[in-house]
Amino acid sequence: PIDPPATAEEGYHLTEDLADQSINWVRQQKALMPDKPFFMYFAPGATHAPHHVPKEWIEKYEGKFDAGWDAQREVTFAKQKEMGVIPADAELTPRNEEITAWDDMPDEYKPVLARQMEVYAAFLEHTDHHVGRVVDAIDDLGALDNTIIYYIIGDNGASAEGTMNGAFNEMANFNGMADLETADFMQSKMDEFGSPSSYNHFSVGWAWAMDTPFQWTKQVASHWGGTRNGTIVHWPEGIEEPGGLRSQFTHVIDLAPTILEAAGLPEPTMVNGVQQSPMEGTSMLYSFNEGDAAERHDLQYFEMFANRGIYHKGWSAVTKHRTPWIMVGGDLPAFDDDVWELYDGNVDYSQSRDLAAEMPERLHELQRLWLIEATKYNVLPMDDRTSERMEPEMAGRPTLIHGNSQIFYPGMGRLSENSVVSIKNKSFSVTTEVEVSDDGAEGVIIAQGGRFGGWAVYTKQGKAKFVYNVLGIQEFMAEADEQIPAGVHQVRVEFAYDGGGLGKGGDVTFFHDGNAVGGGRVEATQPLIFSADETTDIGYESGTTVTPDYTAETSKFTGKIKWVKIDLGLDDHDHFIDKNELFRIAMAKQ
């Protein structure tokens, strides 16, 4: 990983930095090898949640979405028709009853909901601006006309994982704890939406509005609202009709074959000594200068969390199995009980007229075709769980780390959540051997997660402290009664989980060399995931910090850490680890 050269408060933004790096790279490539072709994959984090954008961009959109998502869909639909990017006879699909009407949303939420969309619109424009800078740089080099540029507006439908109320911290819903973000809490955070102190996401209603004119959203891979994205292809020397529209079915797997054909390159069979599986996609090149050419990619299956569908020669058969924003729990039907729909895309662009009852035989043909394709491409068996799949024990999958203990050493860091034993929903202990000077020691011993959820063991004013941060909403702090004495000592923190379900609290006890030195209480924990991007560090904390009690710059431990060990579950009440036992455990991991 690369640490950012500045903070957000100092004006840093990842999209701008990626654009800068891309511009510098392509300039250098053309300066050194002007006749050699180049390939660039520019993939900003935008506009995925969290929606972070400088405040001056947000202010431009103030008040523009106060009418709500139902009205916004109407506005967008009219604009799409005016621009000609959808057929003149396309129909606007109605709002599903699972999505709350804007008028039915509680009034106390509406200012926050409007702000969410203002932030998202600003984020999208900010991204577009910096993509434009990259395009301008290529133009300045005189290479634009003979460069194929694919500008894909998204990687799926707009995300509905933010709940109907939206989210200040998206991880709340991923842990099944969205109810912690009350109306009062959201109102208190309005000015922070879009800032580094948020991990924000917009409401389901806005996601649905952004998928106009289609049904549904991201995760609902059955319907076009979950999969279809506007795409611009720019290549003046290769496309004769500027501004033309193409309606042939294409899929993201068609990109690589298209680029290879345009460049006159064969599909690789070996890459770095590894044999490649055949590409399933179909080049789009045939359609660039033949707008009426018969489509060549005429069969494609879709599936995500058992929301599934099949496209075949204009027709689509689809079934929605689960609702995207219900991330934990929920009542799910058996797969055989899912209700399938049938659409004729040759005359029904937006999947607005379900023909399943009128044409059951056609539906059955497509259902059979989906099963054939799903078998061919290893979709089966399906797994319709969502957040549960993030926690290895609940998902039932193997982990990188085996057993109930793990040893770390100073300097280790940026360890992803799945490369560390999971301390969720169970008792655990953290033991470390440290050397402390007469002046004491300050800083992080081990930290996992960050500002939006996690835990840490650290020292402050010579005392060991344990902090558990629940989603950036609740912070539980415990502190030892005594300072760590000078010299080499074992410091241990034990967390005794209450049990009785997921995300419960527990009691904290501190030990110096096996002797109890105080404790405290944690009232709640995160059951499924701490973060999508924060990590575990030993002797310091990178990224955002679990607690404001220290900063990333002041987090470095000022004493010496010999080792840190996490033990899970079973507690034999021996609060001191013998060096020979530590060695035996380390060797057993080899």
Structurally, at CATH architecture level, domain 1-247 sits in 3-Layer(aba) Sandwich (3.40)
Closest by alpha carbon to 468, among 522, 417, 536? 522
Facing residues of 433 across strands?
Answer: 490, 563
Residues 6+ apart with CB under 8 A from 256: 279, 281
Closest by alpha carbon to 301, among 350, 367, 374, 361? 374
Choosing among 3.30.1490.190, 1.10.10.10, 3.30.110.60, 2.60.120.200, the CATH entry for 398-588 is 2.60.120.200
What is the three-class DSSP state of 157? coil
Query: Using CA atoms, how far apart are residues 342 and 72, in angstroms rounded to an integer?
Result: 27
Please give the pLDDT value at position 396.
86
Q: Which two tokens stand for residue 2?
A: 């690369």
Q: How far from 135 is each of 28, 40, 216, 229, CA to CA, in Å?
A: 15, 11, 32, 20
Q: Which two tokens stand for residue 273?
A: 């000594």
Where does the chain hold its CATH 3.40.720.10 domain(s)?
Answer: 1-247
Query: Using CA atoms, how far apart are residues 415 and 417, in angstroms rounded to an integer?
Result: 7
pLDDT tens across the length of the chain (590 residues): 678 888 888 999 999 999 999 999 999 999 999 999 999 999 999 999 999 999 999 999 999 999 999 999 999 999 999 999 999 999 999 999 999 999 999 999 999 999 999 999 999 999 999 999 999 999 999 999 999 999 999 889 999 999 999 999 999 999 999 999 999 999 999 999 999 999 999 999 999 999 999 999 999 999 999 999 999 999 999 999 999 999 999 999 999 999 999 999 999 999 999 999 999 999 999 999 999 999 999 999 999 999 999 999 999 999 999 999 998 878 899 999 999 999 999 999 999 999 999 999 999 999 999 999 999 999 999 999 988 887 788 888 888 888 899 999 999 999 999 899 999 999 999 999 999 999 999 999 999 999 999 999 999 999 999 999 999 999 999 999 999 999 999 999 999 999 999 999 999 999 999 999 999 999 999 999 999 999 999 999 999 999 999 999 999 999 999 999 999 985 444 556 565 544 444 444 44
Q: Which two tokens stand for residue 131?
A: 């993509």
Residues 6+ apart with CB under 8 A from 580: none
Q: What single DSSP character describes residue 437? A: B
Please give the pLDDT value at position 575.
57
Residues 6+ apart with CB under 8 A from 140: none
Identify the burial level of 59 via C-beta atoms within 10 angstroms of its C-beta, where 0-12 means exposed, 13-18 middle and 19 or more buried. Answer: exposed
Where does the chain hold its CATH 2.60.120.200 domain(s)?
Answer: 398-588
Question: What's the predicted TM-score (pTM) here?
Answer: 0.92
Please give the pLDDT value at position 586.
46
Structurally, at CATH architecture level, domain 298-390 sits in 2-Layer Sandwich (3.30)
What is the three-class DSSP state of 34? coil
Please give the pLDDT value at position 7.
86
Closest by alpha carbon to 300, among 288, 317, 321, 322? 317
Where does the chain hold its CATH 3.30.1120.10 domain(s)?
Answer: 298-390
Q: Which two tokens stand for residue 8?
A: 């957000």
Q: What single DSSP character describes residue 485? A: P
Query: Using CA atoms, how far apart are residues 141 and 255, in angstroms rounded to an integer?
Result: 25
- What residue type is 473 in one-letter code? I
Please give the pLDDT value at position 577.
57
Q: Is the bond preceding residue 527 a cis peptide, omega within 30 degrees? A: no
